[in-house]
Amino acid sequence: MAGCVSRVELSVSCRSLLDRDLGSRSDPLCVLLQDAGGGQWAELDRTERIKNCQDPEFCKKLVVDYYFEKVQKLKFGVYDIDNKSFDLSDDDYLGGIECTLGQVVSSSVFTRPLELKQGKPAGKGTITVNKEEIKDTRVVCLEIEAQNLDKKDFLGKSDPFLEFYKQSNAGMWQLVYRSEVIKNNLNPCWRKFSVPLQTFCGGDFNKPIKVQCADHDSDGSHDLIGTFETNLTQLQNAGDSSPVEFECIHPEKKQKKKSYKNSGIIRIKSCKIETEYSFLDYVMGGCQINFTVGVDFTGSNGDPRSPDSLHYISPDGINEYLIAIWSVGSVVQDYDTDKLFPAFGFGAQVPPSWQVSHEFALNFNSSNPYCQGIQGIVDAYRQILPQIRLYGPTNFSPIINHVARFAAHSAQQGTASQYFILLIITDGEITDLDQTRQAIVNASKLPMSIIIVGVGEADFKAMEFLDGDNGVLRSPAGEPAARDIVQFVPFRQFKNAPREALSQMVLAEVPKQLVSYYKWQGWAPVKPPEMKKM
């Protein structure tokens, strides 16, 4: 999960602050707090104080760790500072706002009216928060081949592979990349690879890089073929028509033989510095995340009127289906501007014909299946439950194909403007496994992710099979998924956990899946970021 964390730098400015000082203007400072649970707020950072200013633009940036899979509640508070104490309780409050980090990063301009307390505006005061991700997004992309490597194996040729090392500040060599092994070949061509610039050389183009070529042995006793030293500045001289060549030198052979020339030539065919965009680059660049829900209304859930049914709504108004909708939806809704979410059911007999349907709108309006916000989905679910008959079979493919049609239409535009997340909540007895496998393999080529939450105590082996974590999912005909887009989580693992634990688990993969799709297509964000700071 930590792989999805970024650091975000927030720039704050205010307009028309209240004037609390007699004879002069206020001396504002902005403090950033994060919800620590239980009604407590923890301070993350604060700006400098600006003297005598009602329209401050604070210079000091506020830095916060960002996780897509969490709802990170923030509070910005603006104070008039009239003393040197760090404590703000003795300073005049000029107003504040509460929001989520998701709202800030997904808004092109985030401006809100300041409030002294809920519903009470702080005069005409407003706060504007701009955001920027802090990281070097560049990667080094290399294509390398070799010629006339030494033969190291008694019966065959060599099985060469490459290792790249950077020199640390203490002079130690740190491994930064190891290539694949090419069997039985003295003139190998390794596949193109990329390494983050930060990892490759710490962003220093002149930092020494050592390259080793070795013959792979299955017992781990690899034989050195040869080595050379270079740096990124030299490697960058490689162009399409003029590769950069290095002699691969074996130090012991060089010492022993006067006639020794080299143990082969390593040719850098191309070395490019490319920008690798992050999840935040796409979201901040204008990518909308569209959220669709599919609810399993098959007979195996049990009669909703019976307390042992998975669809039974307890006296406090919840069940596992509703908790899953709330916890995942509450995170995703911040990334969707219109807050209109299509919601469908499958596996029930639906009035008036009582035919079984595998993609009926929860609001019974097939031409406009959109619900207003997550609350709208919850209300539609509660209203439809007494009006349908739970039936079967459990077919996933119709609803996957439904969302895939929208994703395919969006993909035809050729821009990183829309991404689709389908949440399927099910008790796990899947009937159309082959059709679902085919639907997922087709969807893996589209801008979409599928989250499956399994409720109840069923055997979820089929769901775990669809989640390609244990190997690549294939269609019945053997076609592999282009990328892993399914995340399955059994609800029972989260029965006694805090509600946000479920959303963190199911959404942790989404940023990687979104980036992998746009990278595969070669699409930059709609509005690419300006060159980032180092």
- Written as six digits, the tokens of 82 are 């009239």
Distance CA 196, CA 278 (A): 12
Residue 469: predicted pLDDT: 62
Query: SS3 string of 50-111?
Result: CCCCCCCECCCCEEEEECCCCCCEEEEEEEECCCCCCCCCCCEEEEEEEEEHHHHHCCCCEE
The position carrying tokens 């349907």 is: 357
Counting residues of the chain whose pLDDT is more than 90, the rounded percentage is 65
381 contacts: CB under 8 Å, gap ≥ 6: 295, 321, 322, 325, 343, 362
Residue 143: predicted pLDDT: 95
Q: Of 114, 118, 29, which is closest to residue 78 (Cα–Cα)?
A: 29
Distance CA 203, CA 197 (A): 6
The SS3 call for residue 200 is helix
Sequence-separated contacts (24+) of 77-80 with Cβ below 8 Å: 77/30, 77/31, 77/33, 78/14, 78/17, 78/28, 78/29, 78/30, 78/31, 78/114, 78/125, 78/127, 79/28, 79/29, 79/30, 79/31, 80/18, 80/20, 80/21, 80/26, 80/27, 80/28
The sheet carrying 389-390 orders its strands as 355-357, 348-350, 389-390
pLDDT in tens, 128-167: 998 877 667 788 999 999 999 999 877 788 999 999 999 8
Distance CA 415, CA 522 (A): 10
Contact 400, 346 (CB under 8 A): no
pLDDT in tens, 232-261: 999 999 977 789 999 999 999 999 998 999
Q: Of 430, 423, 514, which is closest to residue 465 (Cα–Cα)?
A: 430
74 contacts: CB under 8 Å, gap ≥ 6: 32, 33, 34, 35, 64, 98, 99, 100, 101, 104
- Written as six digits, the tokens of 180 are 């694949």
Contact 133, 529 (CB under 8 A): yes
The more confident residue out of 5 and 454 is 454
What are the phi and psi torsion angles at 156 (to 5°)?
A: -125, -160
Residue 337: predicted pLDDT: 84
Other Cβ atoms less than 10 A from the Cβ of 528: the count is: 15
Contact 76, 129 (CB under 8 A): yes
- Written as six digits, the tokens of 63 are 């830095």
Which helix (H) or strand (E) is 436 found in, with range?
A: helix 433-443
pLDDT in tens, 393-441: 999 999 999 999 999 999 999 999 999 999 999 998 789 999 999 999 9
Mean pLDDT of 375-399: 96
Judging by DSSP bridges, how do beta strands 6-15 and 62-66 pair with one another? Answer: antiparallel
Domains of the chain: 6-134 (2.60.40.150), 138-275 (2.60.40.150), 280-521 (3.40.50.410)
Confidence of residue 533 (pLDDT cuts 50, 70, 90): very low
Paired strand residues for 142: 193, 271
Residue 470: predicted pLDDT: 63
The position carrying tokens 């710490």 is: 202
371 contacts: CB under 8 Å, gap ≥ 6: 340, 341, 342, 343, 362, 363, 377, 379, 380
439 contacts: CB under 8 Å, gap ≥ 6: 396, 397, 400, 401, 404
pLDDT in tens, 472-523: 899 999 999 999 999 888 888 887 777 778 888 888 889 989 999 998 998 9
Contact 236, 143 (CB under 8 A): no
Residue 3: predicted pLDDT: 45
Is the model's pLDDT at 4 over the cut of 60? no
- Written as six digits, the tokens of 448 are 């979409």
Residue 63: predicted pLDDT: 85
Confidence of residue 5 (pLDDT cuts 50, 70, 90): low
373 contacts: CB under 8 Å, gap ≥ 6: 333, 339, 341
